[in-house]
Amino acid sequence: MQLPEAKQKFIDTWGKLASEWGINRTMAQVHALLLITPEALTTEQVMEELSISRGNANMTLRDLIGWGLIEKQLKPGERKEYFFADKDIWNIARQVAKERRKRELEPLLKVLGELEQVKGDKNDPDFKTFNKSVTDINKMSKNADRALDTMLKAEESWFWGSIFKMFK
């Protein structure tokens, strides 16, 4: 396999994987392109490489900046904006975890906290089942939140060393 074909395969695979996790496929493909490109790219270069429209490219690049996965760069004497992705996979993993926590886990924890306050007859099977399910999901979600907090604060070598020790 030659490099151009390998790059396209990586971009396609990254996009497919991300869409399985609920992330927009084009967003993942643009991120993948910027990951494997040594220099920052312009919007036009992203459009050309991925055959996407200007509107789609602009919206996707804005979203990636919002997620903290890419940064905009300006070159002296040029009006064009350039976009560059951090190549450190640990930084990327932590940033994605932080954003998913903010967008998904924190709202879930808030709702579960409210639902744990529901009053009812402790002998009612419906109430007991509801209360147990909400309490169990809340406990698991809080554990996931603590694990994410540890990951976000940890150095990569310590984190993976700790994880691998659990499986010995």
User: Tens of pLDDT along 123-132?
Assistant: 989 999 999 9
Helices and strands, counts by H and E, the chain: 8, 3
pLDDT digits 0-9 by tens, 53-104: 999 999 999 999 999 999 999 888 888 999 999 998 888 888 888 888 998 8
Give the per-residue SS3 of 98-140.
Answer: HHHHHHHHHHHHHHHHHHCCCCCCCCCHHHHHHHHHHHHHHHH
pLDDT of residue 141: 93
Residue where one domain finishes, among candidates 85, 115, 140:
85
149 and 79 belong to one structural domain: no
pLDDT of residue 165: 66
Higher per-residue confidence, 158 vs 75: 75
pLDDT digits 0-9 by tens, 9-38: 999 998 888 877 777 899 999 999 999 999
Q: Which residues contact 69 (CB under 8 A, 6 or more apart)?
A: 31, 85, 86, 92, 95, 96
Residue where one domain finishes, among candidates 62, 85, 108:
85
Q: Which residues contact 101 (CB under 8 A, 6 or more apart)?
A: 145, 148, 152
Q: Containing domain of residue 155, as a range?
A: 89-166
Residue where one domain finishes, among candidates 85, 116, 141:
85
CB 24 within 8 A of CB 18: yes
Domain total in the chain: 2
Dig out the tokens for 155 from the structure.
Answer: 């150095």
45 and 118 belong to one structural domain: no
pLDDT of residue 9: 94
CB 63 within 8 A of CB 83: no
The pLDDT of residue 118 is above 70: yes
The pLDDT of residue 166 is above 70: no
Q: 3-state class of 1 per DSSP?
A: coil
